[in-house]
Amino acid sequence: MIYIMGDCHIGANRRNKMYAQKIRDSWAYIVKDIAKTHRERFGDHDAITYVFAGDLWDSDNPRPNDLLWVKDTLNSIRINNPNEIRFILIPGNHDRISIDGVCPASIFKEEYEKSLYAAESYTIIEELRRDFFISYNSYTEANTRLYLIPYSGMLLADLLEVKELVENDNFKGNKILVSHFTTIDQNKFAGIVEEDAHVFDPYDVIIAGDCHICYDRGRFHTTGSSYMFNVDELYSKNCIPSYVEVNPETGSINRHTYPEMKPILIDSEEEAIDDDKMYLIVSSEAVAITKPNVFLKYKPVNLTEGTSEELDLDSVEIKSVNQDKIFGLMFPELSDDERMKLKMFAKGEIEVLDVISGIKIPVVDRTNQISEVDLNAEMEGLIDKEDDF
């Protein structure tokens, strides 16, 4: 079986210092759970293939301890399981090849040189090799072939150029594109191409990282993410830690989610009655935000339908906005009381009861991080009109 993850963002300290360790622990929990569940379903002799479709790390120059955390976790899975295990890593826009030509995933190359592990256990797609595309940037298992295209600043051009190569590939099984991008249908702000574009004609299935939501529509699927990285993702119904499973015999796609990692807002510990749930306890001393904060606001270029132009970065401005309106736009499905508690979470003292570790994590004053909320709301397409703040 083939298991595809994306947007793990190990080392995302700059995004959310309050649970940088939680991000790592949740990722490790999922990758280990994949191996455990696979053995329970298929026994010890069926191979396990992991594909990390971009942004395994949050940076192209991650901290050494974050590099080693990933390396040691994957190596331990490989060593401690009787199944044959393969890892395929491609860079995303966060952990892409840096200016000095190094990709974080290259940390596994030293394993080849030391001959401690078989080279075929780790496949690192650091660049698009068009001259050897079918052999170098693809992976075949049973009746399914994955076409692996790493992120680049010219990804749309890459997709167009590779299209002909894939069309001329005589492989008769299921053709699945795995890459790191967002379609306009998934997110009109971050998307680079419409889902009905001809670049996708050769593929039976398209699986892409970059958009953190769980999205399964027709041939198109997102990898999802291994955790929620901002307040809006924490409460979005579409952001649930997940991965997608590919059956290489049939090419069918199945999404596995971890809803137990989603928190439930409560007022007191007595309400935390289910040991398998994660709860957020809001301190009675916390106060709602009443002062405007500074947020980023995009004023997107007026695009005609069917175009895939990028945002005019010159139109990005910083504004002071009313947070009541921001939270109302972001979370229309919540009641006023729920939105008030959400603002208290953003500002106040929180205890997180972690279902994985069982540890309560106290958090104090997230004021400096709340400015990411509006930016992510933009990227989710939740603020798409010219609002008068």
Q: Residue 87: is its pLDDT beyond 80?
A: yes
Any domain includes 375: yes
Q: Kindly state whether residue 387 falls inside one of the protein's structural domains.
A: no
For residue 153, what pLDDT is reported?
Answer: 82
Boundary-marking domain end, from 232, 260, 288: 260
Q: Residue 210: its pLDDT value, please?
A: 94
Across 180-194, 298-312, 351-365, least confident range = 298-312
Residue 389 covered by a domain: no
Residues 241, 113: one domain?
Answer: yes
Encoded amino acid at 106, one letter? S
Question: How do residues 230-247 score in pLDDT, each as one tens digit?
Answer: 666 766 789 999 999 999
| DSSP states along 22-82 | HHHHHHHHHHHHHHHHHHHHH-SSS-EEEEEES-SBSSSS--HHHHHHHHHHHHHHHHT-S
* Structure confidence by residue, pLDDT tens digits, 244-299: 999 999 999 999 999 878 776 666 667 777 766 666 654 433 323 322 232 333 33
**Same domain (yes/no): 228, 343:** no
Which two structure tokens, joined as six digits, stand for 7? 């947007």
Give the mean pLDDT of 18-41. 87
User: Do 225 and 322 sit in the same domain of this protein?
Assistant: no
Domain shared by 221 and 275, yes or no: no
Residue 111 resides in a domain: yes
Domain that holds residue 319: 263-379
The yes-or-no verdict on residue 318 having pLDDT over 80 is: no
Q: Phi/psi class of residue 11: alpha, beta or left (left: φ > 0; alpha: ψ in -120 to 50)? A: left
Q: Give the length of the chain.
A: 389
pLDDT: is 344 or 66 the higher one? 66
Q: Does the reported pTM lie above 0.85?
A: no
8 Å CB contact between 297 and 317: yes
Domain-located, residue 388: no
Q: Residue 327 and residue 368: Cα distance in Å, rounded?
A: 17
* Domain boundary pick from 233, 260, 287: 260
What does DSSP say about strands 138-141 and 205-209: parallel, antiparallel, or unpaired? unpaired
How far is residue 32's CA from residue 339's CA, in Å, rounded to a whole number? 35
State whether residue 346 is helix, strand or coil. helix
- Kindly report which listed range (15-24, 73-82, 234-243, 372-381) carries the lowest average pLDDT score: 372-381
Domain co-membership, 9 together with 157? yes
As a whole number, mean pLDDT of residues 166-177 equals 94
Last residue of a domain, one of 260, 275, 297: 260
What CATH number is associated with residue 220?
A: 3.60.21.10
What phi, psi does 233 have (nearest 5°)?
-70, -35
